[in-house]
Amino acid sequence: MEALAFSGVNSSSYRGITDNLGILQAAAIVSIEQIEIETELKQGIIIESLTNAPWNVIEQTGQDIIYKRKGAATSLIEGIIGESQARGFGGIVKVLTIERAKEFYQNVGFRETDYSRELIVTEYTANTVLSEIKQRRQLQPLD
């Protein structure tokens, strides 16, 4: 699979990643809002929901192997952080997550806040997060 293209440099509440065939691989519902960071309100993007496409897991005919495309959700997050920077928000992105997804977001580079379901990338960590995503992609290209 080739690198996925980020679609959605507009203010709508949907962002998606497609593969080189134009097939949707991950999607997110987002909003632009004021986000509290250490008692200060700053403009940023909130990821309200993010999901991989259900067809992202394919059983290989005649084999017991399940092939799963990897990297779509991470590429989508990379695009959303980049959009936050392009809009002048400094890369600020907040996610409201469920417990079982928390580790994924932390592995990408989101950090916990004082609120239980909330993880954040700040203007101080955004460039580091983007750099680490690019380094991981070089070590393990997208499927």
pLDDT of the residue at 70? 74
CA angle, residues 30, 69, 1, in degrees to nearest 5: 100
Q: What CATH number is given to the structural domain containing 125?
A: 3.40.630.30
Strand partners, 18: 5, 24
pLDDT of the residue at 35? 93
- Rounded distance, CA 92 to CA 11, Å? 16
Q: Name which residue leads in pLDDT, 87 or 66.
A: 87
Q: In this structure, are strands 66-68 and 111-112 parallel, antiparallel, or unpaired?
A: unpaired
- Rounded distance, CA 108 to CA 111, Å? 9
How many domains, the chain?
1
99-142 residue pLDDT tens: 889 999 999 999 998 887 899 999 999 999 999 999 888 887 65
Q: Which among 55, 56, 57, 50 has a CA at the least distance from the CA of 16?
A: 50
CA dihedral 37, 47, 137, 65 (to 10 degrees): 140
| Domain coverage including residue 62 | 5-139
The DSSP call for residue 22 is S
pTM of the model: 0.81
Helix or strand run (H / E) with residue 28: strand 24-37
